[in-house]
Structure 1
Amino acid sequence: MTPQSIIGSEQIVMLGPYQIYPHRRLILEADRPLRLGSRAMDILLMLLENAGKVVSKDQLIARVWPDSVVEEINLRVHIAALRKALGDGRAGQRYIINVPQRGYSLVAVLSWKDEAENLNYIQQSTPPGNLPPKLSGMIGRADVMSGLVKLVRMQRLVTLVGPGGIGKTTVALHVAELLLEDFPHGVFLLDLAPLAEPEAVAAKLATTLKLLRRNEEPLDDLTAFFSTRKILLVLDNCEHLIDAIALLAETLLRNAPRLYILATSREALRIDGEHVRRIGPLQYPPESGVENKEQALNFTALQLLVERAKASQDTYELTNEDLQVASDLCRRLDGIPLAIELAAAQIGNLGVRGVLAQLSADLRLLPPGRRTALPRQKTLHSTLGWSHELLAPRDQACFRRAGVFRGHFTLESAGAVIAAADIAPDQIALSINQLVAKSLMQVEIVDDHVFYRLFDTTRNYALEKLRQAGELPETQRRLAEHYCTLLSHAQSEWGRIPRQFWLDRYAYCLDDIRNALEWGFSPEGLDTLAVELSVVSTALWQELSLLKEHAHYVGLSLAALERQTKPSRHLELALRLVQGNAWYHTQGGKPQTITAFVTAHQLAQQCDDFTAELKAISGLMAVNLSCGHYRQALEQTQHFKKLCNLGPAELALSAVRLQGLAQHFVGNQVLARRFAEEALASLALDEARSHFTQGFGVQYDQEVAALTLMARTLWLQGYPEQAWRMADKALQTALRIDHGMSICYTLALSTWVIAKYNGDSCAADNALQLFHERALVHNLRFFQTWARHYSALGGSEPVPSMPDYQGLISDMLATVHPRFADAALLDRAEAGESGWATAEILRIKAVNTLAQQLPDQFAAERLLQEAIAIAQQQGALAWELRCSTSLAQLRRDQGHLHAAYDLLASVYGRFTEGFSTPDLLKAKQLLEELQI
């Protein structure tokens, strides 16, 4: 059978220890799926199709990236990942070779068998988690690994301790990989190396877990999350945050009985229940030497040296002549895995004898540092220095400047930060490729995106060289400038592309945004850049539910502006708008929220910034609407006409919709519908227009908001069926674009409310469940409060008093069920302050008056007549029906049957739909009674 026919059939391809199911895009190793990125899988399948032949680089790129223009380095990265996953070069086994100037070839012997022979295999679902893809084979740790797997299964806290470069992370990740099936709720890795502040640890963990945030403090959410799940948490690189990690681990283990923790650190956590295991060096041959090559390769340090040398140079073979030299080299490097890898990367250029000669000369010079530094730490430091000195000047500059990146970074980011007068942007890829080949930089593939990073030890060395070169401030400045540019682009895409796609594109850089902000606000930094970055990174903080942490940087930004002789009013304006929006969604209409928007409005006027002025006014309007200050909200719309005439044309759509919203809540449904129809017509005419109002007060999709307004208005005007269709369209639109705040907005104002008005309990329950979920996912505390209030409708207890959230919520609940209309709400309606809900609340007061032991029928009738007049004036046929039904009941009880019938029939007859809704059914039943 030819390789091509294998790919097209349901055959299993046998490649060494691997079983490949090409039609399923599945690889098994010992009946366990091998995690491999889709790009690497595409490459493997093409090499299988052409087994034994050379496939050119251009052919591979055309197959794997058919619709993209990519650089050759991308192909090399994915080839390397594929080799690493397959263990290419381990124990002398070769699968894929590079044919210089031609391409790549699959050289291993293939065999195949029918899939029917393997029917007993049942593919198991992979537990959740974020471990990196399949790691290369572990060398020299078999006994350690076996013991650790058993220990972690029995003990809930195990800490791997050892100096930098000794391989703690590698061991921990391999142990975690072997334990995947033991933890049904997942194995999660938290890399602490990029973090500098203890306060960021819990937030970073919550983000890693993609946790639904319910509490102000992430630790509370983490405790709740872990308490019911059996999870293994790998805490990597704890040493620089040891006190914070010890407290976190102790708290979580105490409150989550099924949680297990595997930590790596240069020192123990020193908390109760900790089991410490020290990771030592690899074994190397004794100074007395060994008898032969076979005996020498029993030593794990030599095994690693040979394997890594082969990875750098396909043709490398350890000869008997070099056996003693290689043994001396491993011994000279104290068996430190990272040091051995660095040395092995140079063997292709210098030969093993040349590496030993140069390295031995360099190691005689003790590196700078503490006198108390361990010998192995000095060895590693010197090995890093030796490897650094062998680099070309351009590669040295690339290496040291990459030290400013705390976390993962892309090739594009590297080009923006590293490039300078001595390195052109188009040379960065070549230098990075050299650094990866020399084991000074790591490459990782996450969902087929290529990222680079420096290990903590290597990064610290690179930063040391950067400081010595006097380039740290300038490189930090370029880092901050780059993320200002990147996050500006992210801000423009926010809400316009699917949320998860947006997060995958930008969330990885949060560690370096923190880095840039901390540098910018430090005495050595440039706070003007930090202020700008605080503004443009708003979307990322919000989507990651880190509003509290972002508020810290916003506060530092405002303080920095105050210190400036001529502070930028434009930047302060942007920051105040950010403050107002954040506080609105986390605290509601508190005084500081209003102050933020008022200050922003004043600044916008001073700057003649019409867009910002509309944002500030719409923010104030949203606060007033939520507080039930409907008249004040309407007054604020008086600015809109001026702003729209003087400002950019795109403001008109927002202004029209917001005017309609204010008219609706103040009680003018005719005007509200006119504005809503105008907004929807405008949206229909210009499909290419951005529908988002990012930064406009509370940031909702224009179409969703206009549909929501139309749905509410239609229901009040007496069209319950059309209103529900419009409300459902608004929700489906919000769900389609996956915009969290728009989803919550329409659920709060139309979907749930109209379902309740129409008596559709099932739809209301579904809407409320979705409301709770989305408010939690997006950490929108304002909407979480709404959802909790709505949930209270199902119980008998009154809604807890929350002064900051009274107003619109109270009016909404009272119109759904009269038990929510307390004395204060009734008095507010009589004072004419309830706007759209006035007629219904006055009706409730009249019904309550009639229910008293000594009912005052005259007062009740006066209230009902006033309510009917208000409903008619507002164009609210729905309220007019309810009020007329109550007044008809009163007149029936008074014996005025004909008057009761004529009153109710005149209103009921104006309806054209919705005859199965509760209000119309009740009216119809009363009319039938009055006819008897």
Structure 2
Amino acid sequence: MAFRFGPFRIVPAERVVEKHGERVQIGSRAFDLLLVLVENSGEVVSKKQLTSRAWPDTVVDEVSLRVHISGLRKTLGKTPLGTPYITNVSGRGYMLVVPAERDDAPPQLRPVRAAAMAASLPPRLFRMVGRDQCVREVEALLGETRFVSIVGVGGLGKTTVAVAVAHELRERFDDGAFFVDLASVSDGELVPSTIASLFGISVTASDQVPSLVSFLRQRRVLVVLDNAEHLIDDVAVLAERIFEHCPGVHILTTTREALRVEGEHIYTLAALEIPPLEAGRGSRDITDYSSVRLFIDRAFASGGRRELEEPEAQIAAEICRRLDGVALAIELAAGRAATHGVAGVLDLLDRRFGLHWQGRRTALPRHQTLAALHDWSYNLLDDDEKLVLRRVGCFAGPFTNEAARTVVGDQWPVTRIIDALSEKSLVSRVVGPDGRIAYRLAETTRAYCVDKLRTAPDEQTKVSAAHALYYTELLEGLVGGRDFFRVTGLTAIKPELLGNIRQALEWCFNGGDTKLGVRLVASSVPLLLELSLLAECHSWASLAVEVMPPELVGTLQDATINQALAISGIIVRDAQGKVKQAFARALEIARALQHKRLELDILAGMNIFVMRAGDCYAGSELAIECEQAGQGINDGDVRALVSWIKGIAYSYAGECGAAIRCFELGCAQDAPPGLDLNLVVFTQRIRAIVQYARCLMVQGSASLAKRTAARAVQDATAYGHPIPRCIALAYAASTYIWKGDWDDAISLADELATVSQQHSLTAFHAVSTGLKGELDVRRGLPSEGIRQLREALAIMTAENHHHMVVSFLAALAEGLADTGEHAEALVTLARAMARAEESGEMFQMVDMVGLKASIELSTGPHEAASIVPVMEALALARKENALTLELRIALRAVRDEQSAVVQSSQLAQEIKSIISRFGSVQDTQDLRIAGAILSKSRIGRDAAAG
């Protein structure tokens, strides 16, 4: 049964009001009031009759009735005569002024107009970021299968995507698109009637599903069931029935777990795209990533800037990584950017995760804060699931089933519960490089669980202690029984280690178990060194030394911690005060334990420390001690290590022949790889290879020198550690400069600048500048070279970086001489030679003697007697078998090809002799210059004529 009046039609059973066939949006109480007036059209209906119908069993004042009648009048408008459809009869009530007629056309045969149904959709999000492709994919899948569930963790934007899909598709459905928000429905039995009410039909309590299915059977309609997870069983049954019996109905659900019913197809909504750590350094701009675009968009909408500069964009990317690309979390964080700045937001996240930051006032209650979002999910869990979820919140990063069982407790079916939590999108599966399955919580979920644990201090202490003990014993099992430097690849074996170790250490040393913390430091320092976390390693090792429990004093763990403290202190700024003491303590324990291998490792570290500090004499003494410690250890790796250290000591002392003999043993392609696992040792190996290249270059084997230097760069890059990579790049570039391969040299210097800047290695960045300065001097651009060399030396001095200072001072002296500043050149060169004598870095002494002779030659008369210092320098180079330096000394003396000196048969003969001793063809800049000069000399012309 239905009624008509004017252009209106009212269907009581469906609670639908239409005007000219289009549905009119009308409130429930307004509909009840209108129905009473229609049923009594032309008659006055008392206020009591109206209130009893619209507000049954409720006492309502007259004001409420007047308000609703006024709203109803506005909805209906006016009759063709210009009068309201509803009039007030003073003192009696209200009346519908036009007659109403019965209209008995069957409602189920009348199509529900799409335009009217569109009004049931929420408005489309004005600015949707990063989900256009998802909308297209869901559209296609829904068109193909008719039944799609968008599944994912809370806050990803499932509802946003579903609403966008519905708006895109609504015109394709004759009977419209309906959006059913199930969040406010607490009883699953009310789901059918809730859906029915949107269609304007009523269903009886005993026949809800059949009545709804019957109504939909002949309809072509899209039904969006939003937030189905808390009513999962009832929604699943109903959705399956509709899918099976209503071929024109398409169903789109949003839920945190699949319905798992016939016909359902899952679309897993991924997080927004997160920039990798190296983002912004390649071809793709960091703001191209959808998570960063969303952050910038919402920050701008909240009063921030429209665009971010590069440093702030990098910080925004880190925020998005911290928030796992969860759209709601990013929006809430971005809303703070105008007030706190982008860096301030990251600081807030570090200090206190923003679980209670407020979002849009008009958002659903569960989307207004992250805490509310997680409360919604948490409260749907049973008690066991709640317990497991909050306890696995102690894991920082991935965790295994074994770890979870240990921390949660064996009395709970942890594996089954974690699987259930995974299905509910509260726990994510992570596939390791070896195919192992691990799990992790989103950062926002973990922060929520940590908050839950804080409210139960006893449980938190129990869980934290179990967590720390588990990782201590795990690492001790991985590390125990092996030499310190043989521990490597821990992150490949256990990628979940680092975050959890940090978490455990924080607890141990902040009111937890100090003794356990010391044990954990001892077993974790190899990992920290492997990952280049030098400052962090130094901090934890320092703390462990300070609180060392009596029962661990003098143990291998004590030695390991002191060794790590010393190793990290070599690099960490302002930490070197503890290095000598820590090395001495570690060595004392190793010798007391008669642990020869440990003793050798510690001596190797001490060798790097003293040579980095500019004391090559002490380095040579330690090389001898290393050789003594290695005696009796029948191990190829040990022999390689000793060869490296001895070769390095010889090379710095300027004894390249002896150095090469050591390097031929330790650096041959088929030699044992050596202990290339720890900061000290793999630095030794790389230093050995680059020094091997330099010695080969000095002795005239330029091609082999370049191949060896390139091998050092390749091997250092493979390590993935910035320190050996910087060392390799610096010394390989120096070798290329000496060879005259200037394009390759500048390429390595640029790479060194990039790597050192990325890792905040200020001294190595200065080295890159110095190399470019030396290169400019060699290329005939002395003024620019002088500027860069001075800049580099100033920074290296401030950073207490001693290596390559002698080399750069010599290059600076040569540049000054080339610009005619001979006096300053000689003073600078004297500084370089004095520094070499003082430190024992004699590698370049022969070259500097020759440079001094050439400067003095260029300032004196061009007479035969003036070349005596040059000839003495040549003799010294010949004695050291430094063929490349011998040629360079001779070339400097004849740099002016038109001078009288070039006509000296003595020097020309020297150059000819030197060239002949290079053996196989060597392609170097000096040899090319020598050939050109020789062709212009009298000897060269005579030879050509003969």
Same fold by TM-score greater than 0.5: yes
SS at match of 1:808: coil
Q: What whole-Å deviation, never above 9, does each CA across 1:89-108 have from its counterpart, x for those lacking one?
A: 799537999999xx997655
Shift in CA distance, 766/530, structure 1 to aligned 2, threshold 3 Å: same
Q: What whole-Å deviation, never above 9, does each CA across 1:2-30 have from its counterpart, x for those lacking one?
A: xxxxxxxxxx99975235999xxxx999x
d(CA) in 1 for partners of 2:726 and 2:593?
33
- After superposition, where does 1:868-883 map in structure 2 within 5 Å? 868-883=874-889
Shift in CA distance, 759/235, structure 1 to aligned 2, threshold 3 Å: farther
Once the two structures are TM-superposed, the CA of residue 768 in structure 1 deviates from its matched residue by 0.9
2:403 corresponds in structure 1 to: 413
| Residue type at the aligned position of 1:414 | A
Shift in CA distance, 676/95, structure 1 to aligned 2, threshold 3 Å: same
Once the two structures are TM-superposed, the CA of residue 880 in structure 1 deviates from its matched residue by 1.9
d(CA) in 1 for partners of 2:135 and 2:558?
63
Does the 8 Å CA contact 1:401/1:475 hold for their aligned counterparts? no
Does the 8 Å CA contact 2:479/2:487 hold for their aligned counterparts? no
Once the two structures are TM-superposed, the CA of residue 592 in structure 1 deviates from its matched residue by 4.7
d(CA) in 2 for partners of 1:508 and 1:600?
30
Does the 8 Å CA contact 1:576/1:600 hold for their aligned counterparts? yes
d(CA) in 2 for partners of 1:768 and 1:930?
40
| Residues matched between the structures, number | 654
| Residue type at the aligned position of 2:885 | W
d(CA) in 2 for partners of 1:544 and 1:873?
45
- After superposition, where does 1:393-472 map in structure 2 within 5 Å? 398-399=388-389, 401-420=391-410, 422=411, 427-436=413-422, 441-443=426-428, 450-453=438-441, 454-462=445-453, 464-465=455-456, 467=458, 471-472=462-463
d(CA) in 2 for partners of 1:337 and 1:232?
9
Shift in CA distance, 752/615, structure 1 to aligned 2, threshold 3 Å: same
Once the two structures are TM-superposed, the CA of residue 582 in structure 1 deviates from its matched residue by 2.2
Q: What whole-Å deviation, never above 9, does each CA across 1:534-593 have from its counterpart, x for those lacking one?
A: 3443455457665334432222111112x6366244333323332333232344995654
d(CA) in 2 for partners of 1:780 and 1:340?
47
- After superposition, where does 1:580-619 map in structure 2 within 5 Å? 580-587=566-573, 592-619=578-605
d(CA) in 2 for partners of 1:108 and 1:247?
43
1:642 corresponds in structure 2 to: 628
d(CA) in 2 for partners of 1:571 and 1:738?
27
| Residue type at the aligned position of 2:748 | A
SS at match of 1:471: helix
Once the two structures are TM-superposed, the CA of residue 837 in structure 1 deviates from its matched residue by 0.9
2:341 is the counterpart of 1:249: yes
d(CA) in 2 for partners of 1:473 and 1:651?
41
Once the two structures are TM-superposed, the CA of residue 881 in structure 1 deviates from its matched residue by 2.0
2:466 is the counterpart of 1:484: no
| Residue type at the aligned position of 1:461 | K
2:805 is the counterpart of 1:813: no
Once the two structures are TM-superposed, the CA of residue 189 in structure 1 deviates from its matched residue by 5.9
Shift in CA distance, 899/831, structure 1 to aligned 2, threshold 3 Å: farther
2:538 is the counterpart of 1:551: yes
d(CA) in 2 for partners of 1:586 and 1:564?
28
Shift in CA distance, 926/341, structure 1 to aligned 2, threshold 3 Å: closer
Shift in CA distance, 913/457, structure 1 to aligned 2, threshold 3 Å: same
Shift in CA distance, 925/127, structure 1 to aligned 2, threshold 3 Å: closer
- After superposition, where does 1:284-323 map in structure 2 within 5 Å? none
d(CA) in 1 for partners of 2:634 and 2:143?
58
SS at match of 1:548: helix
SS at match of 2:804: helix
SS at match of 1:835: coil
1:120 corresponds in structure 2 to: none
2:301 is the counterpart of 1:154: yes
| Residue type at the aligned position of 1:819 | E
1:695 corresponds in structure 2 to: 678
- After superposition, where does 1:121-520 map in structure 2 within 5 Å? 152-156=299-303, 188=317, 190=319, 234=330, 249=341, 265=354, 277=359, 282=364, 337-345=373-381, 387-388=382-383, 391=384, 398-399=388-389, 401-420=391-410, 422=411, 427-436=413-422, 441-443=426-428, 450-453=438-441, 454-462=445-453, 464-465=455-456, 467=458, 471-472=462-463, 474-481=465-472, 484-485=475-476, 488=479, 509-520=497-508
- After superposition, where does 1:536-547 map in structure 2 within 5 Å? 536-538=523-525, 541=528, 546-547=533-534
Shift in CA distance, 757/651, structure 1 to aligned 2, threshold 3 Å: same
2:887 is the counterpart of 1:906: no
| Residue type at the aligned position of 1:809 | M
SS at match of 1:522: coil
d(CA) in 2 for partners of 1:472 and 1:736?
39
Once the two structures are TM-superposed, the CA of residue 736 in structure 1 deviates from its matched residue by 4.7
d(CA) in 1 for partners of 2:582 and 2:714?
33
| Residue type at the aligned position of 1:845 | K
d(CA) in 2 for partners of 1:637 and 1:647?
16
2:728 is the counterpart of 1:746: yes
Once the two structures are TM-superposed, the CA of residue 904 in structure 1 deviates from its matched residue by 2.9
d(CA) in 2 for partners of 1:184 and 1:830?
50
2:867 is the counterpart of 1:867: no
- After superposition, where does 1:846-857 map in structure 2 within 5 Å? 846-852=853-859
SS at match of 2:394: coil
Shift in CA distance, 856/247, structure 1 to aligned 2, threshold 3 Å: farther
Once the two structures are TM-superposed, the CA of residue 752 in structure 1 deviates from its matched residue by 0.4
1:684 corresponds in structure 2 to: 670
Does the 8 Å CA contact 1:759/1:917 hold for their aligned counterparts? yes
Shift in CA distance, 232/104, structure 1 to aligned 2, threshold 3 Å: closer
d(CA) in 2 for partners of 1:754 and 1:639?
30
Once the two structures are TM-superposed, the CA of residue 475 in structure 1 deviates from its matched residue by 1.9
SS at match of 2:683: coil
| Residue type at the aligned position of 1:871 | A
Does the 8 Å CA contact 1:573/1:600 hold for their aligned counterparts? yes
Q: What whole-Å deviation, never above 9, does each CA across 1:448-472 have from its counterpart, x for those lacking one?
A: 9652335433333345457159734
Q: What whole-Å deviation, never above 9, does each CA across 1:577-612 have from its counterpart, x for those lacking one?
A: 323332323449956544544443344333323233
Once the two structures are TM-superposed, the CA of residue 529 in structure 1 deviates from its matched residue by 2.6
d(CA) in 1 for partners of 2:618 and 2:926?
32
Does the 8 Å CA contact 1:672/1:713 hold for their aligned counterparts? yes
d(CA) in 1 for partners of 2:372 and 2:356?
18
Does the 8 Å CA contact 2:699/2:882 hold for their aligned counterparts? yes
SS at match of 2:319: strand
1:708 corresponds in structure 2 to: 690
- After superposition, where does 1:742-891 map in structure 2 within 5 Å? 742-749=724-731, 751-793=732-774, 794=776, 795=784, 796-797=786-787, 798=790, 799-801=792-794, 802-803=796-797, 805=800, 807-814=802-809, 818-819=813-814, 821-828=828-835, 833-852=840-859, 863-886=869-892
d(CA) in 2 for partners of 1:109 and 1:628?
65
2:189 corresponds in structure 1 to: none
- Greater relative contact order, per chain length (Cα 8 Å cut-off, separation 6+): 1
SS at match of 1:766: helix
SS at match of 1:710: helix
| Residue type at the aligned position of 1:459 | V
Percent of aligned pairs with the same residue?
Answer: 17
Shift in CA distance, 922/340, structure 1 to aligned 2, threshold 3 Å: closer
1:669 corresponds in structure 2 to: 656
State which drifts further: 183-192 or 774-783: 183-192
2:564 is the counterpart of 1:578: yes
d(CA) in 1 for partners of 2:611 and 2:908?
38
Does the 8 Å CA contact 2:690/2:728 hold for their aligned counterparts? yes
Quick one: which of 704, 707, 714 aligns to 1:732? Answer: 714
Quick one: which of 633, 658, 675 aligns to 2:645? Answer: 658
d(CA) in 2 for partners of 1:910 and 1:596?
50
d(CA) in 2 for partners of 1:534 and 1:247?
40
Does the 8 Å CA contact 2:749/2:771 hold for their aligned counterparts? yes
Larger Rg computed on CA atoms: 2
